Structure 1
Amino acid sequence: MPSDQKIQPTHPRILLLVVLLGVFAFALLQSLINPVLPVLQRDLGTTQGSITWVMTAFLLSASVLTPVLGRLGDRYGKDRVLVASLTALAVGSVISALAPNIAVMVVGRAVQGAGGGVLPLTFGIIRDEMPRERVPGAIGITAALAAVGGGVGVVLSGPLTDLFGTRSLFWLPLLLAIAAALAVHLVVPPSPARSDTGISWLSVALMAAWLVALLLPLSQGPRWGWSSNLVIGMLAAAALLAVGWTLIERRSTSPLVDIRMMRVTAVWTTNLVSLLFGVVLFSVMAFLPTFVQTPPAAGYGFGVSVTQAGLLLLPMTALMFVAGLVSARLVRRLGPRVVLVAASALNVAAVAAIAFQHDRQWHVPVAMGLLGISLGLAFATMSNVIAAAVRPDQTGVANGVTANVRTIGGALGIAVVGGTVSTHTPPGGLPTEVGYTLGFAVLGIAGTVALLTSLLIPRHPGHTSHP
């Protein structure tokens, strides 16, 4: 259908609802599979170390492709690239749903990672099409929905698996992605302005290389040996590649990530907090369902079903949504720094409770409730701190970077916690309680660093020129 035949929305809310459908489809995939990883492991006949790549491949792919698709949207039209991103998400869902083995499923999950482009593209479309005074609120809703969608996935995975089997967890996002792609094609108008600058594919290759060089040894360290030459060599290579990528980005006239913008105090502090919150969020959603499903005979766990595990995590999703709604009022009254400091403190308390107080089932929903309040306040507030700290034309790009950094943090967290748990897993047996305790304690360290970093965020992060 030609772009001039698109149905123009009668109200900005119609456009917002359409793009939010795509955001929800992608967010759902970030956690829908996590609670059933043990079931998938048995179905595919693979090991615990291999099954974690179902998550890592998705997050790694999203980390690399999110800024690339955002830049392609600037050049070829955000509406067109958003449709392409949602289409790739749908194709990856089909591959994963039909995968006969772990290798094919990992490929499908990597293709699904292209759905990460919906976040910067949605932020850009909101910036282009919404009235300026409504942009911060719309961006806050988008950021909150991206987090809430992840929690919904944890809750829905059990009932869907019980009713339709594990492969149904890929068919649902497929339907949502198709519906979102069609709605975007019909409703979202062509981008009003497009960049004529190209993309530095060398920069893309370097970014992909240093992320892979970092995540691969973190996830495979227990198998290869943390002191092995391979692990140390890849980590060193990751550091060198990251430095090279940064230098190229600084000199580029059309960088994937504007390094100058990232040097603004409100921007880099908020992005560091976002990365550390990503470490906590994705790791909890990945490993806590497995923890509570473990039979008590192992010395921990409650032996609950997948559905019951989702219900134990339900307070996180519900309170995350409520906290996201009230965050704007709290920011206006107390300021963004106070809200982020409070959210970070709740984050530390929640993770500490998970690590050291998990003997009774009721301990889990209480900790998840605290975590939900923390995440809801933090994600909505961070998006508006970024919007206030950068130029209006950078709102979409800057918030896209923040979302992408959170995804990278998730990949790092899953790799580190997965490696810690695997280190304390006897051959052919279940992980020990010590492995989970240490893994969750690592998340507490990440939360503490986020708390300290949030203290550095300016009290009034208004827009300032790049240094």
Structure 2
Amino acid sequence: MLEHKTGTAAPEKVPATGAVVAVLALAGIVVSLMQTLVIPIIPHLPEYLNAPASDTAWVITATLLAAAVATPVMGRLGDMFGKRRMLLVSIGVMVVGSVIGALSSTVTLMIVGRALQGLASGVIPLGISVMRDVLPKEKLAGAVATMSASLGVGGAFGLPVAALIAEYADWHWLFWVSGIMGVIAAIAVVIVVPESPEKSGGSFDYLGAVTLSGGLFALLLGISKGADWGWSAGSTLGCFAVAVVLFAAWVTWELRSSEPIVDVRVSVRPQVLFTNIASIVFGFAMFAASMVFPQVVQMPEATGYGLGQSMLVAGLVMAPFGVMLLLAAPLSSWLTNNFGPKITLMVGAVVVAAGYLLGVFALHSIWQLVIVGVIIGFGTGLAYGAMPALIMGAVPPSQTGAANSFNTLMRSLGTSFASALAGVIVAQMTMTLGGRELPTEGAFQLIMGLAAGAAVAALVLAFFIPGRADAVAAAQMAAEEVVPTDAPAAAAAVDRAQAAPVAEPAVVGTVTSPSGEPIAHASITVTDAHGRQTGRASVADDGSYALAGLEPGMYTVIATAADRAPRAVSVAVVDGAVLRRDFSLEGGAVLRGVVGDGVRNLPASVVVTDQQGEVVAQTKAGADGVFVLTGLSDGETVAVTATAPGYQPSSRLVTVDGRMTGPVEFGLTAHGNVQGYVRAIGGGLLAGATVSAIGPDQTIVAAVRTDSDGWYRIEGLDDARYTLVASMYEPQARQVSVAAGEQNNVDIELGTAAETL
């Protein structure tokens, strides 16, 4: 296997963090403007370009396909040859595409220009990667959140700006303006942004690029054209089949390649894998608002829900969404720095889900849409700032560009899925008005509901992303599996560091418990930017350690000790400096307990969270219900939660005391369930009827729809008396008392008088 050293030149002086972030965010906003640039003129493109609508539709599709191809390729090229250099190349290609679009009068030339604009989509992940390499660590989270938000900011602000230009000027000015902004952004990058010192070098993976790009091209072509061609048409299914074959070939090749375009082994690490899957789902959730709001604003008032406003007003309604993406960046940074990016992503998912659920019922006025957009935009800003932080925390610096580009691609796939699904929904749920088929209000409500569900799915996926301790432990294991290295004795290392000339780099420090007591016989491991182990040292009795013989460059220093959570820090070793890095390792105490339901013990899941809500430990109880958790901090008060299918979860506060705490006993209460059939007056079973359970406080605690056989089942009910309301035509209600572990069968007939059990 060929090995390439990471660039080790002395880092150049970095300008003020604010200037770098502002310029990179500007570049990201300019490029993301391409998403909504031509939306105001889509209905007029056949007239402008003298071409049928089926041909002008490629003006949108070309940008989507080009972006899918360019994003991972530019990320890898940035890792190899310099991220700033490839960022400038991307902006330059966008400027050329804008000029071609501004000069075009035929559909072919316009498609070429739009494809070149799409090739610039790698700017945002490249900008994030530059930030990792050149900005101070304490400033990175906020900078990444701002840069990541630019992906949505450009799209949100681009719509009203493009509508304004299209309404009051020649449509060619849409492209002239984007070209001028691209030139300004490129000049600012040249003046302000330094080149990243991290370069992997090596050769480009041409076969991997071709198979990945081909698979993405086929997949997105099938998604974007499926509604026009027909989802069961041979051309659509053929695209999906080609995509499956090419993706399989790509994965097979990447696993064999010594220098893959995307490191598949890194991509399947839990932190990277679940973040990328969550990104797809979150991309779906974010784009749903962009699909719904403009259409609702412009629908005729005669529909009963439309607001009858112009495209310009529709664009202005989306503007607060973009503002909140930026305003959320500081909070996203604060949450990431204090609680970790996993918690930030989960908080963002909850906020987005709440916004979309509100939107299901609040689509009837401009102010309602603005409020819903503010909530969704704020939650999206939180989550989008966390995703790159999760990715960068799991990959070496030399792979940052490719990993961030792949993550951006996953978000783009989510938006493509949202567009395709929304198109199917609005085409199927229609009403006739003035001889035209228009979407019903229910179509838009369904899209909002699906987006809320997508946000909840992202929340669930985020739960499986490893916490800080798990991620560091994984890095430690990976480092120790690569290259075995002889560990020098602590005393020899100390002598070597102290006796070394000033020019020789060294890292020294201590390893202690949170109370300041030295942790003797802990281990210190050093890995380079490629994850290879480059050094190791033992900790002396007084808790001190010393590392010497390190070449200048970026390293990860990992401290581990038995029954304690590991810690890791990044260290930039330079000539003439002795760096100090102290570690405080939490843990050392053990918590044991048992979970049951009063009759038998249960193999429940047990999760421990600290007072900030961060998961610090988790395990699975055995068949006897017994669980043991290690690595907890002595004297810390934690929340211990036990869950099992079919039971209400139970949580308790426990103060960890000494080496062994417990046993802590959990008694879980079984859920109550209600099931039955919904029938019409004549006895026929009704599919698709809604059955809601209303609790004693008159709030809806659960709602389901009947299946094709008219069957429903509501699970997870507490002990209480509930009112069941079935609705499809005229609603009917039944009351039922639910007890723990009890199965209640309640059939409901629509059209009859209400009854009481």
Q: TM-score, normalised by structure 2?
A: 0.56
**Aligned to 1:141, which of 146, 159, 163?**
146
Partner Cα distance (2:166, 2:256) in 1? 50
1:74 aligns with 2:79: yes
**Aligned to 1:85, which of 74, 84, 90?**
90
Aligned residues of 1:49 and 1:422 also touching (Cα < 8 A): no
Matched with 1:280 is 285
Q: Which moved more, 1:387-396 or 1:59-68?
A: 387-396
Matched with 2:592 is none
Matched with 1:3 is none
Partner Cα distance (1:106, 1:215) in 2? 17
Shift of 1:196: 3.3
Matched with 1:458 is 466
1:107 aligns with 2:115: no
Q: Which moved more, 1:79-88 or 1:145-154?
A: 145-154
Partner Cα distance (2:59, 2:431) in 1? 22
Unaligned runs of 5+ in 1: 1-6
Shift of 1:355: 4.8
- Give identity over the alignment, percent: 33
1:402 aligns with 2:407: yes
8 and 186 in structure 1: CA distance in 2 versus 1, 3 angstrom threshold: farther
Aligned residues of 1:154 and 1:285 also touching (Cα < 8 A): no
Aligned residues of 1:157 and 1:169 also touching (Cα < 8 A): yes
Partner Cα distance (1:298, 1:91) in 2? 43
What amino acid is aligned across from residue 432 of structure 1 in structure 2? Answer: P
Residue deviations 1:409-449 (CA, integer Å, cap 9, x gap): 22332233234434567999454225545544443443332
What amino acid is aligned across from residue 94 of structure 2 in structure 1? Answer: L
438 and 213 in structure 1: CA distance in 2 versus 1, 3 angstrom threshold: farther
Partner Cα distance (2:367, 2:198) in 1? 53
Higher RCO (CA 8 Å, separation ≥ 6 residues): 1
**Aligned to 2:345, which of 340, 344, 369?**
340
SS in structure 2 of the partner of residue 389 of structure 1 = coil
Shift of 1:354: 4.0
Q: Which moved more, 1:426-435 or 1:302-311?
A: 426-435
What amino acid is aligned across from residue 150 of structure 1 in structure 2? Answer: G
Aligned residues of 2:45 and 2:53 also touching (Cα < 8 A): no
Aligned residues of 1:36 and 1:306 also touching (Cα < 8 A): no
Residue deviations 1:32-80 (CA, integer Å, cap 9, x gap): 4335534546645667766554333223211210121122223333333
Partner Cα distance (1:132, 1:423) in 2? 50
Q: Which moved more, 1:214-223 or 1:241-250?
A: 214-223
Matched with 1:171 is 176
**Aligned to 2:356, which of 351, 360, 381?**
351
1:443 aligns with 2:456: no
SS in structure 1 of the partner of residue 36 of structure 2 = coil
359 and 191 in structure 1: CA distance in 2 versus 1, 3 angstrom threshold: closer
Aligned residues of 2:129 and 2:404 also touching (Cα < 8 A): no
**Aligned to 1:267, which of 262, 267, 272?**
272
Partner Cα distance (2:136, 2:346) in 1? 30
Matched with 2:5 is none
Residue deviations 1:149-203 (CA, integer Å, cap 9, x gap): 2222233233333332443332222111111222333444455354332222222
Aligned residues of 2:76 and 2:401 also touching (Cα < 8 A): no
Unaligned runs of 5+ in 2: 1-11, 479-757
Q: How many pairs does the alignment contain?
A: 461
Shift of 1:332: 4.1
**Structure having the larger proportion of residues in strand:** 2
Partner Cα distance (2:140, 2:343) in 1? 22
Shift of 1:253: 1.5
9 and 108 in structure 1: CA distance in 2 versus 1, 3 angstrom threshold: same
Alignment of structure 1 residues 71-220 onto 2, 5 Å: 71-220=76-225
Residue deviations 1:265-320 (CA, integer Å, cap 9, x gap): 12111111222222232343255323421222345422211221122222212222
Q: TM-score, normalised by structure 1?
A: 0.87
**Structure having the larger proportion of residues in helix:** 1
What amino acid is aligned across from residue 39 of structure 2 in structure 1? Answer: N
100 and 437 in structure 1: CA distance in 2 versus 1, 3 angstrom threshold: farther
275 and 46 in structure 1: CA distance in 2 versus 1, 3 angstrom threshold: farther
Shift of 1:118: 1.3
15 and 243 in structure 1: CA distance in 2 versus 1, 3 angstrom threshold: same
Matched with 1:20 is 25
SS in structure 2 of the partner of residue 197 of structure 1 = coil
Matched with 1:236 is 241
Partner Cα distance (2:242, 2:201) in 1? 33
Alignment of structure 1 residues 410-421 onto 2, 5 Å: 410-421=415-426
Residue deviations 1:116-160 (CA, integer Å, cap 9, x gap): 121232233223333344333322221123332222223323333
What amino acid is aligned across from residue 212 of structure 2 in structure 1? Answer: M
Partner Cα distance (1:195, 1:332) in 2? 28
| Structure 1 vs Structure 2 CA RMSD | 3.0
Q: Which moved more, 1:10-19 or 1:62-71?
A: 10-19
Aligned residues of 1:35 and 1:310 also touching (Cα < 8 A): no
Shift of 1:379: 0.7
Partner Cα distance (1:364, 1:39) in 2? 27
SS in structure 1 of the partner of residue 104 of structure 2 = coil
Partner Cα distance (1:193, 1:385) in 2? 19
